[in-house]
């Protein structure tokens, strides 16, 4: 790496944070905080997206196994969140670094004002030399507004603060050609420049008993980071100096090699739309429109929309797919599903002639479209 990143988002999963008994591993937390301190001395600040609240709460409440009902899981998160943040804060305080807790739900980043408030809070904490500890607010999240796993939450946070690097500290060494636990011929994939069908097929979906995310969720996060122009590394978090090695670019784990990073305001806007919003429908593009969007960065025009699916209103987020069903991107649609059914396949001048100039607009403007 030619230049050290100034701002890194690191995500650590529950399975990496806990020991064999299911309790928080204080030794690992101390090691991770030591790495954060060393990076701070080098001029690199860290925003930590940390799982583990529910696991810490299970320990606090004396539950032997992970609950399966939502209410008990949320109770565990409530009991464990303070304990989790306190574990980081105590170690960092010994080293002269403040710690700030930021809890988010998908609703917070769907709402534009709340999204900007969250960004401003995180950036101010960083400016003041503190390490933000970010987690999903599991105690109030409901299914529609849950991130589902912290791999994607970390990706959203990386875009939100316009990070220079996103590091996923996992319980696996990276992306392998096959499941290394069952296939002795599996090889580590050191570089990923594009998430295609071959890469997606390598990712297994099963997580551990402590976590919710598997490799599939990490690859989805990697695809988002490639779209945003933010490099991402997946590595085994319990390896000595794993975070330091990932930041220093020493070849640890799997690196998703992003291209040019977008300007921060465009990056945040597109990541907000493409990752944080709840999808309400789908636009299926013909071959010409699909090429224009993916190869030339064009807007989605009504003339290129072959089919519309779902019920949505103007401003909702929709998936953008090609005729084969491949997800090309996600963006904010400017027509309702009812109007889209009327104008699909029509050129803008035809729409203007019959519906008025104000109705003649892209179905999804390129500034509001995250292309995967």
208: closest CA among 18, 59, 10? 18
Fold of 7-269: Carbamate kinase (3.40.1160)
pLDDT number for residue 138: 58
pTM for the whole thing? 0.78
Alpha-carbon span 320 to 281, nearest angstrom: 9
* Residue 135 burial (CB count, 10 A): 23
pLDDT number for residue 263: 47
- What digits encode the pLDDT tens for the residues 329-361? 889 899 999 999 999 999 999 999 888 888 899
pLDDT number for residue 148: 52
Second CATH level (architecture) for the domain 279-371: Roll (2.30)
In the predicted structure, residue 146 carries a pLDDT above the cut 60: no
pLDDT number for residue 226: 85
Residue intervals in the chain for CATH 3.40.1160.10 = 7-269
Question: Pseudo-torsion of CA 195, 199, 205, 206, nearest 10°?
Answer: -130
Average pLDDT over residues 138-163: 70
- What digits encode the pLDDT tens for the residues 21-69? 778 899 999 999 999 999 999 999 999 999 888 888 888 888 878 778 8
**Region label for 189, one of left (φ > 0), alpha (ψ between -120 and 50) or beta (otherwise):** beta
pLDDT number for residue 142: 46
pLDDT number for residue 56: 83
pLDDT number for residue 212: 42
- What digits encode the pLDDT tens for the residues 162-209? 899 999 999 889 999 887 778 888 899 999 888 777 777 777 644 443
Q: What is the mean pLDDT of the chain?
A: 85
pLDDT number for residue 135: 86
- Which range has the worst mean pLDDT, 108-117, 217-226, 245-254, 257-266? 257-266
Residue intervals in the chain for CATH 2.30.130.10 = 279-371
């Amino acid at each position: 790496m030619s230049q050290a990143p100034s701002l890194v988002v690191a995500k650590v999963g529950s399975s990496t944070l806990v020991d064999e008994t299911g309790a928080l591993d204080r030794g690992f937390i101390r090691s991770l905080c030591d790495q954060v301190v060393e990076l701070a001395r080098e001029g690199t600040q860290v925003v930590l997206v940390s799982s583990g609240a529910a696991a810490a709460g299970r320990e606090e409440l004396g539950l032997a196994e992970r609950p399966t009902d939502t209410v008990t899981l949320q109770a565990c998160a409530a009991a464990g969140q303070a304990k989790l943040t306190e574990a980081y804060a105590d170690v960092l305080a010994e080293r002269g670094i403040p710690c700030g807790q930021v809890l988010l739900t998908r609703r917070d980043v769907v709402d534009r004002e709340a999204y900007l408030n969250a960004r401003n809070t995180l950036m101010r904490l960083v400016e003041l030399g503190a390490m933000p500890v970010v987690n999903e607010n599991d105690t109030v999240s409901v299914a529609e507004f849950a991130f589902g796993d912290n791999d994607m939450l970390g990706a959203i946070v990386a875009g939100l603060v316009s990070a220079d690097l996103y590091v996923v500290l996992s319980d696996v060494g990276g992306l392998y050609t096959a499941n290394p636990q069952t296939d002795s011929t599996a090889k580590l994939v050191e570089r990923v420049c594009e998430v295609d069908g071959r890469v997606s097929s390598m990712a297994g979906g099963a997580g551990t008993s402590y976590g919710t995310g598997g490799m599939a969720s990490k690859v989805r996060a990697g695809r988002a980071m490639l779209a945003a122009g933010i490099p991402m590394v997946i590595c085994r978090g319990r390896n000595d100096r794993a975070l330091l090695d990932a930041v220093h670019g020493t070849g640890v784990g799997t690196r998703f090699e992003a291209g040019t990073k977008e300007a921060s305001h465009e990056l945040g806007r597109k990541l907000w739309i493409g990752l944080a919003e709840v999808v309400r429908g789908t636009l299926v593009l013909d071959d010409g429109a699909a090429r224009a969007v993916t190869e030339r960065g064009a807007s989605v025009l009504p003339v290129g929309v072959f089919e519309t699916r779902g019920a949505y209103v103007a401003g909702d987020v929709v998936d953008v797919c090609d005729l084969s069903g491949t997800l090309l991107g996600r963006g904010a649609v400017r027509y309702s599903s009812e109007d889209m059914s009327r104008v699909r396949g029509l050129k803008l001048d035809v729409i203007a002639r019959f519906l008025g100039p104000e109705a003649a607009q892209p179905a999804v403007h390129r500034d509001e479209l995250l292309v995967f």
